[in-house]
Amino acid sequence: MKSGMNDVDRKVLSRSLLDIAWSFGPKGLDGSCCQDLGMAEFLALDGISRIADCPVQQVGHSLGFTKSGATRIVSRLVMKGYVSKRSSGHDARVCCLEVTEHGREMLSQAYAQYGNLLNRVFSGLDETEKGELQESLIRFSTLLMRENYQEENR
């Protein structure tokens, strides 16, 4: 067999990834990432925090939402006080999004919760195993993101 991975392997792996996606994602952490933030909102907030003067479109793009969906998720984050919005000086059409202090607190709190979960999951493993697992997960994530990127620029 060319690929070296048979149907059973792929199915088991797919199911494992689905389980990870389900329990770490939408249904993880008691149904929402953190307090009043859903998963998409959390990802949006995190995305905004990584880009200076992030435009609304950018949020939609990185989440795979339409620009309408982007407006909606951003306005929710603004309403909750996690993000501030002002229009750009250079181009009055674009908005500059910025994470507020309140938003940064929320972000680090949410990451702390995820960290706690990871600690519980990893408890019982020795340092070497922990390190290997972590490295593999990050590597897979990188590969997956790369594939997504290639996919959308096809």
Partner DNA sequence: CCATTTAGTTGACGTCGTCAACCAATAGTG
Partner DNA sequence: CACTATTGGTTGACGACGTCAACTAAATGG
Interface residue list for DNA (CB under 7 A):
31, 38, 40-41, 55-58, 60, 64-76, 85, 90-95
Select the binding partner of residue 95 from a second copy, DNA, none (C-beta < 5 to 8 A, by kind): DNA
CA geometry: angle 53, 57, 62, nearest 5 deg: 95
93 vs 120, which CB is nearer to a second copy? 120
Cβ of residue 53: shortest distance to DNA, in angstroms?
A: 9
51 vs 133, which CB is nearer to DNA? 51
Cβ of residue 131: shortest distance to DNA, in angstroms?
A: 34
Select the binding partner of residue 81 from DNA, a second copy, none (C-beta < 5 to 8 A, by kind): none
88 vs 119, which CB is nearer to a second copy? 119
31 vs 89, which CB is nearer to a second copy? 31
Select the binding partner of residue 35 from a second copy, DNA, none (C-beta < 5 to 8 A, by kind): none
Q: Evaluate whether 84 touches 48 at the Cβ level (below 8 Å).
A: no
**Half-sphere exposure in the Cβ direction for 108 (13 Å, CA):** 6
Cβ of residue 86: shortest distance to DNA, in angstroms?
A: 10
